[in-house]
Amino acid sequence: MRRPIIAGNLKMNKTVEEAVSMAVALKRKFYTFAEADIVICPPFTALSKVHDEIVDSSIMLGAQDVYWEEDGAFTGEISLNMLRDVGCRYIIVGHSERRNIFGETDEDVNRKVKAVLKHGITPIMCIGEKIEERDNGMTFEVLEKQLSRGLKNLFKDEVMRIIIAYEPIWAIGTGRTATPQQAQEAHKFIREFIERSYDKEAYLKIRIQYGGSVKPENIAQLMSQEDVDGALVGGASLDVNSFSEIVKKAV
């Protein structure tokens, strides 16, 4: 059975003090929680301090992005060595906001996934379609393209270490959520793509999260779907009580 994983993406929110306060509150609630993997992804500025608060707990640290080069003249970028140094165990790669606002391509995502894996960190690779693509019946076509390019030249043992996050772009920050059935259809397609590209073991073991206006009110229904293994939570992760309820109702 695949272990559930709930990750909170704080995006460009919270000062260091606010992020640490949230980490302390979550640690009180989930200090020895063993029923799911819990990951929080604060802004880069708060990573080190948050890590210091959660290091002895069951909560794990994640980053919201990374650059694929080891070091060099890349002003404003963050390297794998830097993120590993502050204790990151997960890194979000290819979030729709990185793709749509900052022009990140599937090829960029592939470079980042490979770099993250090389450093022994778990990538959370995001994929998902726009509303016009869904309305035009292109959802599976878009997902297949993103998967093919994002996972290009990766071996099975590498792919099984990846978390794939299906986040329909039309459901991110809009209050509009994919129905449990829509989420299941997409997750099943993703899992079957993995089987076609690799084998049954990879199909059974890879974990697939849903992301897109996840709330305490809908997490249980989403998690009841056969191929939904967790959630990548955005806005609802900013509130300790809301995020805590999501974790509790997910298992």
The whole-number pLDDT of residue 172 equals: 79
Beta bridge partners of 93: 125
104 is annotated as an active-site residue:
no
Q: How many Cβ atoms from other residues are within 10 Å of residue 121's Cβ?
A: 19
Distance separating alpha carbons of residues 68 and 164, to the nearest angstrom? 18
Burial of 168 (0-12, 13-18, 19+ CB in 10 A): buried
Task: Say which of 53, 129, 167, 187 is annotated catalytic.
Answer: 167
- In this prediction the pTM is 0.97
Task: Work out the angle between the directed axes of helices 139-150 and 106-118 (0-180°, nearest 10).
Answer: 40
Catalytic residue (one of 95, 104, 129, 133): 95
Tens digit of each residue's pLDDT (9 = 90 or more) over 216-236? 999 999 999 999 999 999 999
- Please give the structure tokens belonging to residue 48: 């080190």
User: What per-residue confidence (pLDDT) applies to 178?
Assistant: 87
Is 95 a residue of the active site? yes
Tokens representing residue 178 in the block: 């994919």
pLDDT value at position 140?
98
| Residue 61 · residue 50 · CB < 8 Å | yes
- Residue 197: the pLDDT is 98
Return the CATH superfamily for domain 5-250. Aldolase class I (3.20.20.70)
Which stretches of the chain score pLDDT less than 50?
none
H or E stretch covering 41:
strand 37-41
- Give the position of tokens 């290819």: 94
pLDDT at res. 88: 98
